[in-house]
A and B are shown apart, each in its own frame.
Chain A
Amino acid sequence: MKRLVSLIVSLLAVCGLLAYTGHQLQASSGSTGSKVLNLYNWGDYIDPHLLKKFQKETGYHVNVETFDSNEAMYTKINQGGTHYDLAVPSEYMVAKMKRAHLLQPLDKSRLTSLQNYDSQFLNQTFDRGNRYSLPYFWGTLGIIYNDKFIKPGSIRHWNDLWSTKYRDRIMLIDSARDIMGMALASQGKSMNTTDPTTLRAAEQKLNRLAPNVKATVADEIKMYMTQNEAPIAVDWSGEAAEMLANNDHLHYVVPSEGSNLWIDNLVIPKTAQHTNAIYAFLNFMSRPDNAAQNAEYVGYATPNRKAKTLLPKATRDDQQFYPDATTLRHLEVYRDLSPTKVQLYNDLYLEFKMHH
């Protein structure tokens, strides 16, 4: 018993020590003062050097909290109890948050660098006139293949994936909207369709792909592809960039007949508290030099036209990640569908997953 008590006391002492250390560390990085900005972001989705530079220039310290999915982030902001100044939702989530009255409109008079952005990524259906959002990064959905196993050029279109040559060869990203969307695009249909018959036909077509599917996975697809676990994968361009950087045999194709264009955006949640810091940060991140530096760190495509010109030539001319005008024209941005339609997409997708 005496031993137990002394153990408890020493554990409490350790706890005290940890609390002190944690507090000191947080104070040393300056996150407890009043000049702060609370950023709610995907993990590792901003160059930490930029945050330091921002603090040096403006005096605002950026606290970063992280989330791992749009929906989880939505739940947190919707439920309240938090005070994020900026969040980074994808396009359909911007629309959903807007409808739920979770966002503050942008004060355009305080934005100095709107003209830096490429008009291609402004004024989209999810936020007409960019009343609530500024584009942060953008990308596509496409096919990654390994030239050790697949002849370059033999996969250009979605329908190529259905070839019997590729039995048990393909990895899919675990996302109902994207995989159903792929099937729809391969049939020349809109990736935003809500017609049940069209969707059911798409599911039928997916079921025929089942023998070719090796696995349906998520973020870990990067690790699998770099390790040559499968020769073909369907995934987003951001993930593809990461894979290509680690394996020279990999290539990324955006089917020219149509695919998804996604845009991650900076928005101001209703509960934001530090207005001055927010606009200082938005203007700071819109500056071409900063946006370019961030794009090089993260590896995604920047919607900042002027920043793009600052990127190395090899990067900005890379058709894989900055596709040509024809392909761009065929890309579709996801609309925010009603909950019952989202459920329909997911139910059909679940049936497909159970199929194999």
Chain B
Amino acid sequence: MTKRRTWVYFIPYGLWLALFVIAPVALIIYQSFFDLGQHFTLTNYSTYFRSATYLKMTLNSVWYAFLITLFTGLISYPTAYFIHQLKHRQFWLLLVILPTWINILLKAYAFIGIFSQAGLANQFLTFIGIGPQQILFTNASFIFVATYIQIPFMILPIYNALDDLNPAFVNASKDLGASTWQTFRHVIFPLTLPGVKAGVQAVFIPSLSLFMLTRLIGGNKVITLGTAIEEHFLTTMNWGMGSTIGVVLIVAMIVVMLLTGDQKTKGGTPR
């Protein structure tokens, strides 16, 4: 393909980048330098970095996003792997996506019903003799529901990576006498790593700014950056401070990208 012919395909994407990414980001950065009195200032940043409240919130956000991503990954990889071995695998994959089309607020309300004192989960616990427990407003229930929401976003890229896997590699490994586990560890997993990385990006990054579930399921026992942004934009209308936290999130995203980015220099180089 000649370079000259292909740049045409870039136009719509480039336009999108310019209008809907670069322009809003510029706006966010611009706003982050204004205080409540509309004066140009650096105070938003100094407030952010000097306040113990915000730093604790940042650590919280990163920690919970990490946990959510970890659990999502641990549940999704085997799911994708087993679905891939099924006969009607594409049908089952579609069934994984289907629940995501129901509104998230409604699903959260359903979880409130399931996890409440008299809910199904506690009836089950009573039935097996453990007795009712406080499930809502615990870190565990918050992480559970957040993981639930994110699972499809992780399963899909992993499944696609498994689909790309050349069966010849797996057969070769087995012919060479490797056990199933060895084949998985040394052949299958490393070759599906791009899918895992795409999944981590699709899950970790949005998890940094979760806010609704922290309140609905977590009862605001967990406060993340999303909570603070929500407050600055919708309660105090301090858009400057809200934008500042937005800038911090974008920087955090770049760090994540660098950490999960591919170390090989070129996509599509001959292997």
Contact = CB atoms under 8 A, between A and B. Distances in A.
Interface of A: 69, 71-72, 74-75, 171, 174, 176, 214-218, 220, 223-224, 227-229, 339-340, 342-343, 346, 350-351, 353-354, 356
Given A71-B237, A224-B112, A227-B119, 10 more contacts: A72-B234, A74-B237, A174-B215, A220-B216, A229-B116, A229-B117, A339-B36, A343-B238, A354-B53, A354-B57
Given A214-B219, A215-B137, A353-B223, A223 B113 contact: yes
A294 B48 CA distance: 47
Contacts of B215: 174, 216-218
14 contacts: A71-B237, A174-B220, A215-B136, A215-B219, A220-B216, A223-B112, A224-B136, A227-B113, A227-B116, A228-B117, A229-B116, A339-B36, A343-B238, A346-B235
Given A72-B234, A353-B220, A214 B112 contact: no
A351 B118 contact: no
Contacts of B112: 220, 223-224, 227
B53 A215 contact: no
Contacts of A69: 234
Nearest to A351: B53
Contacts of B53: 350-351, 354
Contacts of B70: none
B235 A350 contact: no
- A218, A224, A229: most-surrounded residue (chain B CB, <10 A): A229
A212 to B, nearest CB: 13
A95 to B, nearest CB: 14
Nearest to B239: A75
Contacts of A171: 219
Given A223-B113, A229-B116, A343-B36, A214 B223 contact: no
Contacts of B136: 215, 224, 229
Contact of A350 (B36, B108, B228): B228
Contacts of B237: 71, 74-75, 339, 342
Given A343-B236, A354-B53, A228 B137 contact: no
A227 B117 contact: yes
B231 A215 contact: no
Contacts of B228: 350
A72 B117 CA distance: 34
Given A220-B216, A229-B117, A340 B235 contact: no
| Contact-size category for B | 20 to 34
B116 A224 contact: yes
A228 B134 CA distance: 12
A171 B53 CA distance: 23
B109 A220 contact: yes
B107 interface: no
A82 to B, nearest CB: 18
A174 B228 CA distance: 13
B174 interface: no
Contacts of B109: 220, 223
B89 interface: no
Contacts of A354: 53, 56-57, 223
Contacts of B37: 339-340
A339 to B, nearest CB: 5
B236 A216 contact: no
A218 to B, nearest CB: 6
Interface in B214-271: 215-216, 219-221, 223, 228, 231, 234-238
Contacts of A346: 231, 235-236
Contact of A339 (B56, B234, B238): B238
Contacts of B231: 346, 350
A342 B116 contact: no
A184 B246 CA distance: 33
B236 A228 contact: no
A143 B235 CA distance: 23
Contacts of B108: 220
A275 to B, nearest CB: 30
Contacts of A174: 215, 220
Interface in B9-65: 36-37, 53, 56-57
Contacts of B57: 354
- B109, B228, B238: most-surrounded residue (chain A CB, <10 A): B238
A215 B223 contact: no
B46 to A, nearest CB: 15
B236 A227 contact: no
A339 B240 CA distance: 12
Contacts of A228: 116-118
A95 B57 CA distance: 33
B39 to A, nearest CB: 12
A71 B220 contact: no
Contacts of B238: 339, 343
A164 B228 CA distance: 30
A219 B231 CA distance: 16
A340 B36 contact: yes
Given A229-B136, A350-B228, A216 B219 contact: yes
Nearest to B237: A71
Contacts of A223: 109, 112-113
A18 to B, nearest CB: 15
Contacts of B113: 223, 227
